[in-house]
Structure 1
């Protein structure tokens, strides 16, 4: 069976993403243009545009298209802005961020996923403005500041260091809380610290090391 990926991409945008109130023209153009099928395993390629999380290995998964659309719309990366992505995963959202922004630094704790994402970006002719580092974001050190920070895995509570990497006026997207009811929020850095905008409820796998401490029941 030959899949018409162009049609599948269009259907994803019109039947999944747009009905979930993703209306930003640049975001819709990005999702309608980039080849999502190039970022999933061969065995899952037929499901690349389905309303599903897709497994990546290492206990990680690729988020549903609607979550990716809402994430990009909340962050609104601009062509002159620098992005930090925490959790490269498949590399697809990395490619979307790179399409919208000036530069992306992406951190991935699993070297195998980092290498695979780099290879997919290169094979698709994307990501010339992307640097992928195989590191643990919870212990990463940098003096650099970013306009946009995209945390692709959930956290029980947001590590304070993540907010320290924001420039004034910068935006950080994260899903936080305790499964199965988590909240996607946008942290916006301003002169008074950070204000938080609630976006939507969802449930995502945790970043490695960011799950809640186990609760002992006697």
Structure 2
């Protein structure tokens, strides 16, 4: 019987105790979590928390989504090898790396220069070559003018703006955490034709706000 190192045991426990119980059962996704080393994308000061069920702190006051949220989103998006992907909120580059292993290419937008550079460095260090990190505001329509098969919002928004839906190719899927505290839901929108979309909200989750997406007015008349 092979004895796991403390690091690999922590990774194994993360998968078996946090991620599987969250209905992440697709073997390809679970295997990818052993291939893309999460600890390599966590700042050194917080590496001890790489496998903990929490949002891991990043520079510039930001956080990584918890491991189970990242894994479930990846599974629910059904990323294919021919897909082009847009991510909003690069953070440390970890989600982009997961997406990149399943997709043809990934464009990841990051509004904070410090994080954009961190993501680039982490992706390069880990040999991920099919991700382009752009320092840009993903809440702006012209930040990524292309159309995509998959759009991943690595954070929460009050609602999904129409301009992002229009960037989806027919058959494309968008993932976002949508809502206002204390009620937010994982939201998957699929473009079924040029004019039609379907929406599913399969699980409850909260997440850090993405910057500059319009908040609803607190005043009601």
Name the structure 1 match of 2:132: 131
Name the structure 2 match of 1:71: 73
Deviations 1:4-44 (A, max 9, x none): 32222121111110111001111111112211001111111
2:29 to 20, 27, 30: 27
1:213 shift after superposition: 4.0
When the two structures are superposed, what TM-score results if normalisation uses the length of structure 2? 0.92
**Do 2:85 and 2:105's aligned partners in 1 also have CA atoms closer than 8 Å?**
yes
Name the structure 2 match of 1:58: 60
User: 2:216 & 2:62 partners in 1: Cα distance?
Assistant: 19
User: Are positions 1:210 and 2:213 aligned together?
Assistant: yes
Name the structure 1 match of 2:157: 155
Unaligned runs of 5+ in 1: none
Q: How do 1:85-104 and structure 2 match up within 5 A?
A: 85-104=87-106
**Do 1:154 and 1:210's aligned partners in 2 also have CA atoms closer than 8 Å?**
no
1:153 shift after superposition: 1.3
1:50 shift after superposition: 0.7
**Do 2:141 and 2:164's aligned partners in 1 also have CA atoms closer than 8 Å?**
no
Aligned residues: 214
RMSD value over aligned CA atoms? Answer: 1.5
1:212 shift after superposition: 2.1
Runs of 4+ with >6 A deviation: none
When the two structures are superposed, what TM-score results if normalisation uses the length of structure 1? 0.93
Inter-CA distance 65–201: structure 2 relative to 1 (3 Å threshold): same
Query: Match of 1:83, SS?
Result: strand
User: 1:149 & 1:67 partners in 2: Cα distance?
Assistant: 16
70-79 or 208-217: bigger deviation: 208-217
Deviations 1:182-218 (A, max 9, x none): 011100001251100112111111110126245259x
Deviations 1:112-171 (A, max 9, x none): 10000110111122x200000000012242442111110111111111111111000000
